[in-house]
Structure 1
Amino acid sequence: MGGRKFEIKRIENDTNRQVTYSKRRGGIMKKAWELNVLCDAQVSLIVFSSTGKFHEYVSPSTTTKKIFDRYQQTAGVNLWQSHYEKMQERLNKLKQINNNLRKEIRQRTGEHDLDDLSIEELRDLEQNMDNSLKIVRDQKYHRIQTQTDTHKKKLRNSEEANRNLLYQFEGRDEDLGYGLVDHEGHHESELREANAGSHSFAFHLHPIQPNLQEGRIYGFHDLRLP
């Protein structure tokens, strides 16, 4: 009994279609390999799935390009002519775009290509340049404002740090005792630490002497460590 026949048509179910593709792709790849080995034939097989996946089998002794070149020579056709023409057309369009851009640059700099412009074209060029200048000026002002704000922020941070240091020193001074004593008719300031258990330091400061000779007479008390 023969196998069950079924109609050859597109499989609508995605899963069944993918399973069938994988099985039959493997089968045709095997047939291509058998044809190459058994008959010493040069085979190039290219398969694209519906999802765009690419599969290829080429005889080990050749390449797909060599087979295409041999096919062109045998059949008398040029497989690359249409592709070359499309590439050439694309290249010409890019050259035209490049020439137009270069011409626009020369017009904006006022160097060349202004004599052939009409009044309307010159007016449009002027308007475009004014718009460009406004954009550049706005960007410049924005950059200046940003840098100014940054410097102001850094300055505020520095001032805040200075105030904190000042508060710390003032808090430390509040822990120290101050006293004014009168010694031999001269006003002197004596600074003592509040903590009696620590070493004490005394500084005696005389008023500014009227001259160098009097300074030698009065003299200055040295720093004393008890």
Structure 2
Amino acid sequence: MVRGKIQIKRIENATSRQVTFSKRRNGLLKKAYELYVLCDAEVAVIIFSNKGKLYEFSSCDNMQNTIERYRQYKKDVQSNTPQIERYRQQLRLEAENMAKKIEFLEVSKRRMLGQNLGSCSIDELQEVENQLERSLRNIRARKGYLFKEQILQLKAKERYMQEENAKLSAKNNGTTCSQQNAEVETELFLGLPENRCS
């Protein structure tokens, strides 16, 4: 049988409230113990009933050690709060600056592509034109460099092919000379194969 969801609100019946408190308290303390054992965590739980009775669990021998550690942690966090706030402010400023730079670069890119030029002044248009001319010079210089590299590679390949061709020609000439010097005897027969034997 599946339990339905209960509504989280104060239980009006005192007996039911005490039973629920007892069960849930034991469950909470059991979970705290399991967390300590399974995860090797330092765990402390303090519970006061509505009648003021104290229930506690501590994974270390002394609850006071855990409380002192908690107080020291809170003090450290509070003392570091100004540093953390300064760091957050610095990150916020850096993010704003980056957003402005990105927006500026996007506007510049659109202008380079010839978009949204209607709102540009003559000076801005002159700057875009100068930038395009500088970019074009850089592109042409790079293209010329790549062409020269390609020409050098092709010339090196041409020399290599000429050397290989010369080697093959020399080798072929030696073979032709030896074939011309050797006498080859050939006979020519006409007619059907039976006539050859006679």
Pairwise TM-score range, normalised by the shorter structure: 0.5 to 0.7
> Scaled by the length of structure 1, what TM-score is found?
0.47
2:132 equivalent in structure 1: 129
1:171 equivalent in structure 2: 174
Matches within 5 A, 1:6-45: 40=65
CA distance in 2, matches of 1:163, 1:109: 54
> Scaled by the length of structure 2, what TM-score is found?
0.53
CA distance in 2, matches of 1:76, 1:136: 53
CA distance in 1, matches of 2:67, 2:150: 71
The answer to whether the Cα contact below 8 Å between 1:108 and 1:125 also exists between their aligned partners in 2 is yes
CA distance in 2, matches of 1:73, 1:154: 71
CA distance in 2, matches of 1:40, 1:130: 73
Unaligned residue ranges in structure 2 (runs of 5+): 1-60, 192-198
The correspondence for 2:185, drawn from 202, 210, 219, is: 202
Q: In the TM superposition, what whole-angstrom CA distance separates every residue of 1:182-219 from its partner, at most 9, and x where no partner exists?
A: xxxxxxxxx42xxxxxxxx4357x9xxxxxxxx968xx
Is 1:111 aligned to residue 115 of structure 2? yes
Q: 1:132 to 1:42 in 2, by over 3 A?
A: farther
CA distance in 2, matches of 1:216, 1:167: 39
Unaligned residue ranges in structure 1 (runs of 5+): 1-36, 44-58, 179-190, 193-200, 207-214, 218-226
**More deviation in 87-96 or 136-145?**
136-145
Which amino acid is the alignment partner of residue 81 of structure 1?
E
CA distance in 2, matches of 1:172, 1:115: 78
Q: CA deviation at 1:96?
A: 0.6
Q: 1:67 to 1:143 in 2, by over 3 A?
A: farther
Q: CA deviation at 1:175?
A: 4.4
Which amino acid is the alignment partner of residue 65 of structure 2?
D
CA distance in 2, matches of 1:91, 1:165: 69
2:89 equivalent in structure 1: 85
RMSD, matched Cα: 3.7
Q: CA deviation at 1:144?
A: 2.2
2:150 equivalent in structure 1: 147
